[in-house]
Structure 1
Amino acid sequence: MLLDPQAGQSVVRLVAGQTCTLGRAPTNSVVLHDERSSRCHAEVFMGGAGWTVRDLGSRNGTFIDSEPITGEHTLEVGDTIRIGSVQIVFGDGDPPSASSLLANDAEGTSTSEIPADMEQWSAAVTHRRAATRLFEDIRESAASIPRVGKAAGELCRLSFSLAKATDPVAVSRLALESALQGCGASRGVVLLQPTGASHPAGLHAVKGDVPVSALAPIASIPSDWPVAAIPQGAVANVLATNEAILVGRTPAGLDANAISSLSAPVRAADRPVGVMHLEFANGVRAAAPDDLEFVMAVCDALGIAIENLAAREQLSVRLASTADENERLRQRLRVDSRMVGSSSGLAVITEQITRVAATKATVLIRGESGSGKELVARAIHDSSDRRDAPFVCLNCAALSETLLESELFGHEKGAFTGATARKAGKFESAHKGTLFLDEIGEMSPTIQAKFLRALEGHPFERVGGSQRVQVDVRVVAATNRNLEQAVSAGEFRRDLYFRLKVVEIVVPPLRHRREDIEPLARHFLERFAAETGRAVRDFSPDALQALQVYHWPGNIRELRNCIERAVVLSTHDTVDDHDLALSHLSSPGDTGKGTANRPGPFVPQTLDEVEHRHVTATLSAVGGNKTKAAAILGIERSTLDRKLARWAKC
């Protein structure tokens, strides 16, 4: 019995009249996988006194137990020949039983059931392999043994075929065909664990021990090979030891027409999850140790292929789930950003959007702050052939000149302090899509020049870089500033003004399209009631009247914040007029008349006092949560902190 740490355990039967050679060279009867063995190290033969071992002038010597031998040594039952790390135990009769193999196999796995014929199969095993040499450096072997080169070529062909297969059944049949062709076996079967009664799925959820009864034929040649004819003892032996076995003689229960067989584990993460079993019929050469090496290599390739298929299917499931989630978010975004209302002013805007969306023209959207300019820009994008590409927004008034240039065009690593890596700008991020620039009138003259070139389709360079970047972007700009006055004052480039104003869309303020107030209010009521879980379902007649007569200086943004605040603060299922808490601010150019104040005596108050009282009431309503209060008030958290700090000093 050969115990090789590199190749595993195997049984070598000595035949009288034949010499068994031992060494590192592939031409030996027994190939040793230890660098301390010589190419032709030793030989075992039948001498006059019995079986004899002879050292062939090896460099590191041959040992019997721990004693070195010189010349020849007559073997006795139980002697252990030691060559480097390889141990060869000399014995007589049948090899050890399956139970003793399992007891000595610390690396193997155990199963919950051992067929009764497993001992018979273990006794018939002549060679065992834990790993194949064909995945190591085989150039020397291939040069000396043509069959090794042929096996490598067949494995290469198989790897390409397995890469093209799309399911476990297909890869199993390809591997089985390759194994049969490579070693000349008559028939074979691949057994794997199925996930369903009729749909074998290979390695899904397969980890740890696999009982024999859990395996099912995935592929067999011939296809009508009956399941009952598959030897359970051989399958159990492979699963128990995680080693490939070669049976050189027919044990009880094996088909009388078969003279030898091979069984090898199909492994995932070095654990057996299936078995390939091959049989050689009478009239065909018997299985050889080289066949065992080849079949193990095929099974290892099969295990990797099935693992990859399982990973690919899991990835496909995750991608499909991500795509569904992405579509749901897109639908939600369309709902949240759709234009609500039925006024004539909105109808004109909708028609303009339809006309301009089909073109590549630059669009300038004008209107007061909060009137819905970004919604118009998004509607243009969603209605265009760029709808599947990015829609990127940037507020030009929120950044300094240096930061705005970096945000627009990107920067290279080291371009300025803090630039620790290359960053793509908004132009690059919006490639093939739409770039929406809000507050375009606040852009500095220096940035305007570079922006104009990019707007006209010229390549640009990132900040601190020299590489030219070319993008395909549609620009939609918006402003609430009088650009004509800015051009006259020299604050805005005239050529950029005309380049932006290819198509101009003017969004009227909410007070000029009062027909849209109630539909918008109901839209926001439904949205915020769902988000907060509050059972607020309608407006009282007084609330609707107050909404209609109010002048809305903050336009749709103020209406949205007003409804959100009312939903949060309302104590019943209907929003009343006192829940609205409308402000006293005037609209641009408005006198302040027509505000929806509640009846009562006029009490002179400063604007700061009104604001202080309102902010305090909002904070109290949300339990002191500054983040939530800032969201309801429509201001930044930092702005709220500054106001509270200022009032605390008074």
Structure 2
Amino acid sequence: MPPVSELAYLVIREGSKWTDVFRLVSGESVTIGRAPTSQIVLKDERCSRSHAELFMAEGQWTLRDLDSRNGTVIGEQLVKGDRALSPGDVIRIGHSQLVFVHDLSEAFSDAGTVIRRPAGDAGQSAQPGDAAESVLDTYDPTTITHRRGQTRFLESTVEEDESGISRMGRAAAKLCRLAFELGKAPDAVKLADLALAGLFEGIEVDAGALLLLPRDFQGEPTGSDLEVIASHTTTERRYHRVASFLATTVMREREAVLARNIMGDSSLGSRDSKGVIHTTSVICAPVRQGDRMLGLIHLYSTDADRVPDPDDLEYTLAVAETVAVALTNLNRRQELAENLHQVKSENVQLRERLGVESEIVGQSPGMKQVTEEIARAAASRATLLIRGESGVGKELVARAVHYSSPRGKNVFVCLNCAALSEDLLASELFGHERGAFTGATDRKIGKFEAAHLGTLMLDEIGEMSIGIQTKFLRVLEGHPFERVGGNKPVKVDVRVIAATNRDLERDVTEGRFRHDLFFRLRVLEIVVPPLRKRPEDIRELAIYFLEKFKAETGRKIQGFTTGAMEELLTYRWPGNVRELKNVVERAVVLCCGGAVEQEDLVLTNLSTTGDTAERGEPGKDFAPCSLSDVERSHILATLNHTGWNKSRTAGILGIERSTLDRKIRRYCLAEEHGPPHR
């Protein structure tokens, strides 16, 4: 007797459709019948509840008819007693056909396996070849496998027995309720949670997840391209990601799969951290929009007594198709929201562009030089460093460069490096993945990605920590970066404009700023002169701001009195253009007459950087001291004057609130003096 292969299978057909591939395990018997307790259940009226049995006898697989009412046929011979099986034998039970093979490549390989019905049996011959080829191309032959390309829930008519109609009716009702819930989901995570909750209500599985492809994914997807959006488990074991082979196959074939008896099969089950495969049964259904794959639903059981059946596969596929519709609508809503946001952003940018063109005011030689440098810098893609004291209009210059450049139609993004801690600055610059840190509930793109094809301005670049400088330098040199908590490289096309009021050369010497980053930023440089060095622009700027705030407030003010204008022209403007703007705005509000009086101007005694004399009180004795001491004293006096109202103090000083906070920390004002108790 020739040796018997350890592998043997039954390829099962019902009517004109193949349904299962059943692996026969040596030493185990297999029962066939209509009863749910049978290993192979045939839903055939001519099949007895316990119809036949397969077992190994003397080294051969043997079929035994269990006194069935309608009998068992191999070929065209009725089986009586035990019958040894040979490869290629076709077993017919009612309208069902089971082909016995040792190698699946032998199943339905020739015309001889096409079942010929006995004379007088008015049925159409089965043509199983195409289905068998699909099995061989796609699935590992160690499992019971069901496949579905479309769910019966969406067919107009379904022929079922009374119990089937009852079960499908209940499932259809649940599906309808779930569809309404999915349609109201605000995001993909909530949608995934709702879908999994609906699946776990009616299917006996232990774990599952909804996995999606990126919205902009192109090409043929594989298992590694999927991202787990949400997962559920009913046991203490955590969810294990779908096997790459199974995911890739389901997405390639666009068909849902039910696989049972898969213990130890790494192509269908996933290994845990110890390398053990606990999965016993699995359902994997594609989520697709037409021919475009969106993702898949993955459900599995680790309990041999909790085995999903073909009806569970039907319901999972129905949920997957419902999820696809809801997800498509959600994506469309998000795209509409993004397009609306983009249109609003473009509208704001156009307004800002008009504002930039009108707010670069001044005909002094210094401003004419800045305007010429803006034109030259706009024609280049090189990194630009804008230097100047606080309040001179560095961001205005950066916007002018952007809107005058070929990137002017794209986005302009600005970030103040001094306003954030090191960790938050990294997240803002490079983005983060969901779960990267506490509170990171969603993936967020950083400023670099947001500024793709546009311009990114980094204000107060000198406040950036050394750690962030290193990663920032790599991006400037054209290297891709990774989001915080991510491992996928992200590459962007961004022009960087940096601005600072610090002495970067001194910071480089003292080790607070990387010398290579300094040279990389300083490819082009624009130095914006302080307002005190271009006094001829003060009158024009004051009139411009007066007209602007008159239009905003509706005040009917004719202009400045001679005394008021003289005060503006002789003042040193330590806060530069920003301070002048704030002074004029305050004067418009305080003015009680037809013109701005000298008394309406609220100016400070703060010295300006580089001044050799103070604007002190008449007759007060001069006491030499450092500029830091003067600044510290003046900030403290202004804080006390405003009752430690930092917003008012920053407005009076002509600086940003974040700059004031930094100076309070630098001079330890809060620790030594602190705000008054209220």
TM-score by length of 2: 0.44
The structure showing larger relative contact order (alpha-carbon pairs under 8 Å, at least 6 residues apart) is: 1
Higher-Rg member (1/2): 1
Normalising by structure 1, we get a TM-score of 0.46
